[in-house]
Amino acid sequence: MKKLLILFFVIYLSSTPKIDVLAQSSQDQELQLKSEAAALLDTETNAVLYAKNADQRMYPASLTKIATAIYAIDKGDLDSIVQVSANAVRQDGTRVYLEEGEQVPLKKLIQGMLINSGNDAAVAIAEHIDGSVEKFSENINQYLQTVIGVKNTHFANPNGLFDENHYTTAMDLAIITNYAMKNPVFAEIFGTKELQWQGQSWQTQLYTHHLMLKGELPYPGITGGKTGYVTESKQTLATTVDNGNLKMTAVVLKSDLKKDKYDDTAMLFDYGTAHFQHASIKQGDIFKVDDKDFVPDHDLMITEEKDGAVKKVDENGLLSIENKSGQVLQQVQLTYKKPIVKKELPKKQTKESSSSSPLVYSAGGFGLILIAFIAILFGAGRKFNRNL
């Protein structure tokens, strides 16, 4: 099993300064994962903690709805009313049993889509935001590339029903989930275990399909999750956890059995908890390269291995956080600190320097002395004559 070196950019909280973060991972330890692809990221710093075939193009199934949800939250008005179309009602697979013409608040549809994986709700959202599924697909792909920064994803629909042109990677999905988790509305819905649903034709209690979040397969600290399955994608799963010291995001793709994806997720979280911790770099810290100084724009949280980390800065100010084996966990772009140039004050002028010529000054000074001496002699002479 060959691990990949991962390189990517991620956008941080909209309320904080933007940080360009690059991360890559290649652990010495092989985890015996049954899923074909997997990615484990630090949710807060975006450091890659583990990766298996993480850039391999795969089908996501309903994990697509993570992207649909954050796109709708970012672009739409959550209080706006969506009128459900016949096209939305006709969707196959899991639904919340919407009726044609039914009017539903956008936020409620996002809840039905994430918690109960409603394919009909996903299409209703797409048509409300962009007018059609086709236009939605065009716009969300641009959004994923330009706003979130993923490069290996192309979505043809909002719900993940199979399409050959509907694909992503474990790494891209983890990046998308990390971005989404920084939005409090998304994080709340993603972590909802149950919800009372009052629809036009369906009144029920919705329960999350994610067995770790639901508590049927207990794991401490689970904060959110989304399941997926279609024949072509097999079992897929996205999960977030907070162990009290570290928040992590795990994505596993193409597991043969439902149990496998949960076992793999638990194994990834165990690995992350055992090996990694947070540290900080202060705004005033200076990193020197040759005769250049580089500094962070603000205090930074970084992820490092518990047995130590090595910090290296290249000539362009790219800070790499490495483990003792030289494997890069995280990279952060620092800012060049321009040296302060001290201006030389002009020399204080003296009588000598202000005179046009030392010789002239000397002669002038001598003349004044001579005149004063003559005046003294003249005054003394007059006094002498009066005394006579």
Residue 192 and residue 240: Cα distance in Å, rounded? Answer: 12
Question: What single-letter DSSP state applies at residue 166?
Answer: -
By the 8 A CB rule, do 69 and 192 touch? no
User: How big is the CA angle at 23 (ends 18 and 24), to the nearest 5 degrees?
Assistant: 170
Same domain, 112 and 219: yes
Does residue 231 form part of some domain? yes
Same domain, 228 and 361: no
pLDDT band, residue 363 (cuts 50/70/90): very low
Mean pLDDT, rounded, of the chain? 86
Same domain, 272 and 359: no
Count of CB atoms situated within 10 Å of the CB of 102: 18
Same domain, 31 and 116: yes
- Residue 31 has a pLDDT of 96
351 class by beta-carbon count within 10 Å (0-12 exposed, 13-18 middle, 19+ buried): exposed
CA distances from 329 to 57, 157, 266, 286, 315 (A): 23, 34, 21, 21, 19
From 240, 258, 278, give the residue that closes a domain: 278
Q: In what order do the strands lie in the sheet with 318-322?
A: 21-22, 328-333, 318-322, 310-313
350 class by beta-carbon count within 10 Å (0-12 exposed, 13-18 middle, 19+ buried): exposed
Residue 206 CA, distance from chain mean position: 31
- Residue 378 has a pLDDT of 54
Cβ-based neighbours of 338, under 8 Å, separated by 6 or more: none
Q: What would the pLDDT profile of 115-162 be if each residue is shown by its tens digit?
A: 999 999 999 999 999 999 999 999 999 999 999 999 999 999 999 999
Same domain, 197 and 108: yes
Same domain, 135 and 267: yes
Does residue 288 form part of some domain? no
pTM: 0.80
Does residue 193 form part of some domain? yes
Does residue 286 form part of some domain? no
pLDDT band, residue 257 (cuts 50/70/90): very high
Q: What would the pLDDT profile of 223-236 be if each residue is shown by its tens digit?
A: 999 999 999 999 99
Does residue 213 form part of some domain? yes
From 260, 278, 296, give the residue that closes a domain: 278
Residue 18 and residue 330: Cα distance in Å, rounded? Answer: 16
Residue 320 CA, distance from chain mean position: 16
Phi, psi of 55 (to 5 degrees): -105, 10
Percentage of the chain with pLDDT > 90?
67
Q: For the chain, how many structural domains are there in total? A: 2
CA distances from 309 to 148, 252, 278, 288, 294 (A): 28, 27, 11, 18, 19
Same domain, 245 and 373: no
Same domain, 28 and 148: yes
**By residue range, what is the domain housing residue 377?**
354-387
From 247, 278, 309, give the residue that closes a domain: 278
SS3 384: helix
SS3 159: coil
Same domain, 124 and 246: yes
Q: What would the pLDDT profile of 155-177 be if each residue is shown by its tens digit?
A: 999 999 999 999 999 999 999 99
Q: What would the pLDDT profile of 34-92 be if each residue is shown by its tens digit?
A: 999 999 999 999 999 999 999 999 999 999 999 999 999 999 999 999 999 999 999 99
Does residue 31 form part of some domain? yes
By the 8 A CB rule, do 382 and 376 touch? no
Count of CB atoms situated within 10 Å of the CB of 207: 15
Same domain, 204 and 62: yes
Does residue 11 form part of some domain? no
Same domain, 139 and 238: yes
Find the length of the chain.
388
CATH number where 254 lies:
3.40.710.10
Phi, psi of 216 (to 5 degrees): -75, -30
Does residue 302 form part of some domain? no
Active site residues: 62, 65, 117
Same domain, 274 and 376: no
